[in-house]
Chains A and B, each alone.
Chain A
């Protein structure tokens, strides 16, 4: 049935997508809430089963709380938490199947607002020029209703809809632009560039098949990881600077991270490290035998989430980046799909 196909698609596409919204915190003197100084893990839950959730794990891994949203607010979070975007004191939890964005205080997780009018299949969000930009598929079966929704962050309403290429996914803000990856496994190879002063698409850049993650390097160049290559884009000129193609030893790379001058990504059960100055793919596996559904690199650690068989509780798995030692394994909730630093 088509439902299955959509489910399968929705699940498999999210495998290739990383979370890239790391915000540097100011250093608070007084605690801002229970969920500060730790990791926020979003859980997709099962497609259509309404068991999306958020977990908190303290930096020292000693404090763990599942179902943070429902514990605080007394109501279920929703269906299929696709991603979380942070801005100032707020977290925007994008719920794909619930067709809504839950706005909460990032430190207390108290609900602030729900954005749910005319949102269909929302995926990811970025903040630029004081506005929110949410990618939304519309109907999967309709190639003409895909859009970037512009959110007025003062009223939490949609102020404009910008049509994009088919299946807009990751979105990243760079100065007064947002870059939108379009396409998922088997579909699409384009990045739409939207000017956030005018809110129109200023150009579309062709990359590799199914662009799945973005990272900015130290020079503010945008790196796009696709199923077949790693593409460097000059964010001022919107020109492709270079394209590094994968050979067949690495298939379906995903979850691009940039940390301390190096790229890290995940492919086929391994974490690879790629020198950011190399002009070809020289990546070598630094960790193997993994089953990551998402990963983030920071604090000299790799924070991976293992969704296991998608019906039992998943794990947060943390490795030391230099020694490859396993630092911590914490069992969380159903289908952990995003790791964020709070």
Chain B
């Protein structure tokens, strides 16, 4: 497995286990990522990067990947259904999902459904903890998840074919081809996932009878050097999802949900000495059709198209001082059965500064001013710093103001939409300590987040549900992340674990918010010997309060084994076998929605 942590200013890479040799080529590449500010302007920010081989153990679902490999907590309306995170005790609309630098949260509900993101389409997935509205805009309050496609300008031609089959008639197919020279590069990928998802509800005679889903992803990313200073890049992703929505133990369901997302970004990057600039044009499209009854043709529709232009300009005055400005304009148009045809224009200006004051201290100062249709002008800022106090010890600190603008649903939903809403605003502070030794990395973080003017839907005096700015929530907690790696002869051992203690209180009632566990933890153990590797992962989710009640804590484990045939030849094959919910544990992640019993997955991968 390969984990990369960014403990700026160090970049420490662990690369290993069975797939290390395959990945080795990639490590040497000149890799271009689209979102450089994720790394360059984040001295005091906790960032965890999950690489290919970690992703491989939780392929197809971003929910599963992050639940086992980060401090995030997820609530999932049954396996494969709508899934939303709570990042540091914040709500589902307060985590931004960022695709190659662009915030892709839905304009309709402000969220990204983590079960619509197929992890195998990305080279790396990064978890950036804490506020990021200056860099990533609305909704970056608890943190942000970054989906990155890298482009490598080296001679290569690599193709990967995957097929998988598992319990509940689950099938997946994947094709990925990456190619390039020093002048151009590209990769294309197609993934398809299909499952009857009709698992048994343990201890009952019921099954998950309306849970079938399938989705198709198409990805294409291209880059060309048009001169030795200019690169043109094109990123595209299409997603087509088709899901039945599961019911609960006491409420059957017959509904179906179809959704599609198209994301396209054209980018021109120019680097000239100390200066670099990028111009990006982006089109984002989201559409859903909700069928109350999957056997009937009636549905309700919502769709949004966003056009966005972004220009940024970076100056490196020296290797110690960098400055970046960003101008962004977006035009968002919605259309749907429950709202008419709202339009939103937004303009923002951003300035980022990063300074290495000494070998010990680096800091950043970041400002952003937005101008949004309707007169809202949120101003946000952040400051962050890192202190490399000792050889193995670093302190990171950051403070920020962040915001979330009302969504189209909040503003225009009929009936109930409220045009008088103001953006949610949030202040936070985060302190991190990082211990890094050759075989051990430990991160400890403590944070405090106060969010005001929370947008909540409540019944008004005529009984119609309508959103208002009422809530004030304080979230605070502590996180620990431990990673350890040993190589003894040809034996490789890897351990990682996360634990978080989270308090998230409604300041009016002084009660913990529903669906925020005080305790959440996970651990991963991996062992590799030559061509063989295996892993075990375990997740603990503490008790959560739900409306009028509480939902029990649970823990469960998965394990997998993997073997590579023909390892160092041109064509190699890998077989993975994975057992999920090893102990056949009954658990509900959301009340009355049982999760799958023990199940298996077998996967073959051919690389050439």
**A joins B in a complex:** yes
CB-CB under 8 A for A8 and B251, given A141-B292, A333-B548: no
Does chain A have a CB within 8 A of B464? yes
Of the residues A4, A252, A333, contact of B463 by C-beta under 8 Å:
A252
Please report the number of residue pairs spanning A and B whose Cβ atoms sit closer than 8 angstroms.
109
Q: A98-B250, A251-B462 are in contact. Are A49 and B592 (CB under 8 A)?
A: yes
Whether B250 contacts A79 by the Cβ 8 Å rule is yes
Chain B residues 355 to 373 lying within 8 A of chain A, measured CB to CB, are: none
Chain A interface (Cβ < 8 Å from any Cβ of B): 1-8, 11-12, 15-16, 45-46, 48-51, 76-80, 95, 97-99, 139-142, 185-186, 251-252, 268-269, 309-313, 333-334
Closest to B109 in A: A1
What chain A residues lie within 8 Å of B109 (beta carbons)? 1
A95 to B251, CA, bound (A): 9
**B residues near A49, Cβ cutoff 8 Å:** 248, 546-547, 591-592
12 further A-B pairs in the complex, CB-CB below 8 A; given A2-B290, A309-B458, A311-B547: A1-B288, A1-B290, A1-B409, A2-B300, A4-B457, A12-B463, A51-B549, A76-B592, A99-B252, A251-B462, A269-B461, A313-B548
Contacts of A7 in B (CB 8 A): 465
Residues of A with C-beta under 8 A to B298: 139, 141-142
A78 to B338, CA, bound (A): 29
Instruction: Note all chain A residues with C-beta closer than 8 A to B415.
Output: 8, 186
B571, CB-defined interface residue at 8 Å: no
In the complex formed, the residue of B with least CB distance to A76 is B250
B292 near A8: Cβ-Cβ < 8 Å: no
Does the CB pair A141–B461 fall under 8 Å? no
Query: A139, B292: Cβ atoms under 8 Å?
Result: yes
Q: Are B248 and A50 in contact, with the CB atoms below 8 A?
A: yes
Chain A residues within 8 Å of B509, by CB? 312
Distance (Å) between the CB of B250 and the closest chain A CB? 4
A317 to B413, CA, bound (A): 33
Residue of A4, A50, A141 touching B251 (CB-CB under 8 A): A50
Closest residue of A by beta carbon distance from B302? A1
Q: Which residues of A have CB within 8 Å of B549?
A: 51
The complex places the Cα of A1 from the Cα of B256 at a distance, in Å, of 12
Q: A139-B293, A252-B463 are in contact. Are A8 and B300 (CB under 8 A)?
A: no
A51 near B547 with CB under 8 A, answer yes
B300 x A141 contact (CB < 8 A): yes
Give every chain A residue within 8 A of B296 (Cβ-Cβ): 139, 141-142
A5-B250 CB under 8 A given contacts A15-B463, A50-B591, A51-B549: no
Q: Are A50 and B592 in contact (CB under 8 A)?
A: yes
List A contacts of B462 (CB < 8 A): 251-252, 268
Secondary structure at the A interface, as helix, strand, loop or mixed, is loop
Interface string of B277-304 (1 = CB under 8 A from A): 0000000000010101100101110100
User: CB-CB < 8 A to A141: which residues of B?
Assistant: 292-293, 296, 298-300
Tell me the minimal C-beta distance from A291 to chain B in angstroms: 9
Across the A-B interface, the 6 shortest Cβ-Cβ residue pairs:
A79-B251, A2-B290, A15-B463, A2-B300, A141-B298, A50-B250
A-B contacts, 29 listed (Cβ < 8 Å):
A1-B302, A2-B338, A4-B413, A8-B415, A16-B463, A48-B248, A49-B248, A49-B546, A49-B592, A50-B248, A50-B249, A76-B250, A78-B251, A79-B248, A79-B250, A80-B251, A97-B251, A99-B252, A141-B293, A142-B296, A252-B462, A268-B461, A268-B462, A309-B458, A310-B458, A311-B514, A311-B548, A313-B548, A334-B547
How far apart are the CA atoms of A7 and B458 in the complex, in Å? 12
| B interface: dominant SS | loop
Given A4-B413, A139-B296, A141-B293, check contact A98 B251 (CB 8 Å): yes
The residue among B251, B299, B514 with the most chain A CB atoms within 10 A of its own CB is B251
Point out the residues of chain A lying under 8 angstroms from B463, CB to CB: 11-12, 15-16, 185, 252
Give the contacting residue for B292; candidates A2, A80, A98, A311; CB below 8 A. A2
| A309–B464 alpha-carbon span in the complex (Å) | 12
How many residues of B sit at the interface, in one of the four size bands? Answer: 35 or more
Bound Cα distance from A7 to B290, whole angstroms: 14
Which of A2, A51, A268 contacts B548 (CB under 8 A)?
A51
Interface residues of B in 74-131 (CB under 8 A from A): 108-109
Residues of B within 8 A of A3 (CB): 255, 290
B residues adjacent to A (C-beta < 8 A): 108-109, 248-252, 255, 288, 290, 292-293, 296, 298-300, 302, 337-338, 409, 413, 415-416, 457-459, 461-465, 509, 514, 546-549, 591-592
**Residues of the B chain whose Cβ atoms lie less than 8 Å from the Cβ of A12:** 459, 463-465
Query: Which of chain A's residues have a CB closer than 8 A to the CB of B248?
Result: 48-50, 79
Chain A residues positioned under 8 Å from B548 (CB to CB): 45, 51, 311-313, 333-334
Asked whether A310 lies within 8 Å of B459 as measured between CB atoms, the reply is: yes
Contact A5 B300 (CB under 8 A): yes
A333: B residues at CB distance < 8 A: 548
Residue of B nearest to A186 (CB): B415
Q: Given that A98-B251, A139-B296, A141-B299 are known contacts, is A8 also in contact with B416, CB under 8 Å in the complex?
A: yes
- A45 vs B465: C-alpha distance when bound (angstroms): 16
Assess the A8–B465 pair: CB atoms within 8 A. Answer: yes
| Residue of chain B at shortest CB distance from A96 | B251
Whether the pair A1, B461 counts as a contact (CB closer than 8 A) is no
Give the Cβ gap from A82 to chain B, nearest Cβ, in Å: 13
For the complex, give the distance between the alpha carbons of A46 and B591 in Å.
12
A142 touches B293 (CB 8 A): yes
- What's the nearest-Cβ distance from chain B to residue A147, in Å? 15
Q: Do residues A46 and B292 form an inter-chain contact, with CB atoms below 8 A? A: no
Chain A residues with CB below 8 A from B459, complex form? 11-12, 15, 310
- By a CB distance below 8 angstroms, the chain A residues around B252 are 98-99
Instruction: Chain B residues near A186: list those with CB within 8 A.
Output: 415
Report the separation of the CA atoms of residues A157 and B108 in the bound assembly, to the nearest whole angstrom: 43
Assuming the contacts A49-B591, A141-B300, A311-B547, asked whether A6 and B251 have C-beta atoms less than 8 A apart, the reply is no
A8 engages B464 (CB within 8 Å): yes
CA of A269 to CA of B462, assembled, Å: 9
CB distance A78 to B250 under 8 Å? Answer: yes
B561 to chain A, nearest CB (A): 39
Are B547 and A11 closer than 8 Å at their CB atoms?
Answer: no
A311 to B459, CA, bound (A): 11
When distances are taken between beta carbons in the complex, the residues of chain B under 8 Å from A98 are 250-252
Which residue of chain B has its CB nearest to the CB of A140? B292
Contacts of A269 in B (CB 8 A): 461
- Tell me the minimal C-beta distance from B469 to chain A in angstroms: 15
B302 to chain A: closest CB distance in Å? 7
A101 to chain B, nearest CB (A): 14
| A1 cross-chain contacts in B, Cβ below 8 A | 108-109, 288, 290, 302, 409
Chain A residues whose CB sits within 8 angstroms of the CB of B302 once the complex forms: 1
> CA A191 – CA B548 in complex, angstroms?
37
Residue of B nearest to A267 (CB): B462
The CA of A78 and the CA of B250, in the complex, are separated in Å by 5
A140 to B255, CA, bound (A): 12
**How far is it, in angstroms, between the C-alpha of A12 and the C-alpha of B463 when the chains are bound?**
5
Please give me the residue from chain A that is nearest to B509 by CB atom.
Answer: A312
Residues of A with C-beta under 8 A to B409:
1, 4
State in angstroms the CA–CA spacing of A1 and B292 once bound together.
Answer: 11
Cα distance A192–B546 in the bound complex, in angstroms: 41
Give Cα distance in the complex from A3 to B409, angstroms.
12
Nearest B-chain residue to A14, judged by Cβ: B463
Residues of B within 8 A of A251 (CB): 462
CA of A51 to CA of B292, assembled, Å: 21
Q: Which residues on B sit within 8 Å (CB–CB) of A4?
A: 409, 413, 457
Closest partner residue, chain B, to A66 (CB atom): B548
Nearest-neighbor residue (CB-CB) of B548 within chain A: A334
Distance of A49 Cα from B591 Cα, bound (Å): 7
CB distance from B78 to the nearest CB of A (A): 12
